[in-house]
Amino acid sequence: MASLEARLRSRFAAVRLPDAPDTDSFLNQRGKEFVAAVTSGRVGVSDQLMDALPNLKAIINFGVGYDTTNIDSVRSRGLILSNTPDVLTDCVADTAVGALIDVMRSLSAADRYIRRGDWLAKGNFPLTRRVSGTTVGILGLGRIGLAIAHRLAGFNIHVAYHNRNRRADVPYPYVDSVIALAARSDILIVAASGGDSSRGLISAEVLDALGPDGFLVNVARGSIVNEAALVDSLAHHRIAGAGLDTFVNEPHVPAELLSLDNVVVLPHVGSGTQETREAMAELVLQNLFQFLADGTLVTPVTSP
């Protein structure tokens, strides 16, 4: 955020890392000066950058996801890492429900239908799918997944979930595999954490289990979905549709998806409201203030 960068510059004399080809010369000359790195979940701090910042102590992440930073490298170097949990939960959950309704009721497609003049030329828009009373499987029943589940209650939707571990504090049935969850769901919502352990978790097998009447909604990391398998499943009607807020190689979106009316594509806007981004920025600043004051973080992911 430009406003966050301006506040970092004015309060902390923060320096923006130059883009290539100036990166290496800058780090060679000034890399030893920096004790904290502020980054975003989309960019992260690479192992090479950690190596070039020998006095780095803290990585402060704008975003709840931090899979673009190697957490094992952070721990092995004795660094601390923060993220911005909780403050974006509601807006991401809202986006998930919005994408679900949009793709099942074809709202964006219907909008395009009118704009093309098809209502006049071709008549009524094709029938769509009912949202209320369906079964939704949530992959990742953490803060965001639980907020999604709470919202779906108003639609009389039946919720099931799969996590690394069963939760004892929720009323929803636990399903012991992603494939089994997909098989029992009309809609599969991905709200799991990114990283190597979840990479490609939504595989061709999972999509086949979801089936030709099933929908996929992803508001987590794009890397969790096998994108090639998803494109193939959509192109050959092996699933009914998808609502996607994230992609593997952002901002690049597979061209095959852009011509499909049963796909809603969003430019990673899950937390993209003014209120939430300001709250995320404030939490970044709080983490940086506290680190510089006493060496700790307000919302730590790792400890020294």
The residues carrying an active-site annotation are 221, 250, 268
Nearest CA-CA partner of 44 in 32, 60, 33: 60
Phi, psi of 175 (to 5 degrees): -115, 135
Calpha distance 30→52 (Å, rounded): 9
Integer CA distances (angstroms), 278 to 1, 2, 148, in order: 9, 11, 22
Q: DSSP states of 49-78 as a string?
A: HHHH-TT--EEEEESS--TTS-HHHHHHTT
Q: In the beta sheet, which residues pair with residue 36?
A: 58
- Give yes or no for a contact between 232 and 248, defined as CB atoms under 8 angstroms apart: no
- Report helix angle 274-294 to 2-12, nearest 10: 20
**Which residue matches tokens 């969790």?**
224
Greatest C-alpha distance within the chain: 68
DSSP state, 208? Answer: H
Calpha distance 157→152 (Å, rounded): 6
The token pair at 19 is 């883009």
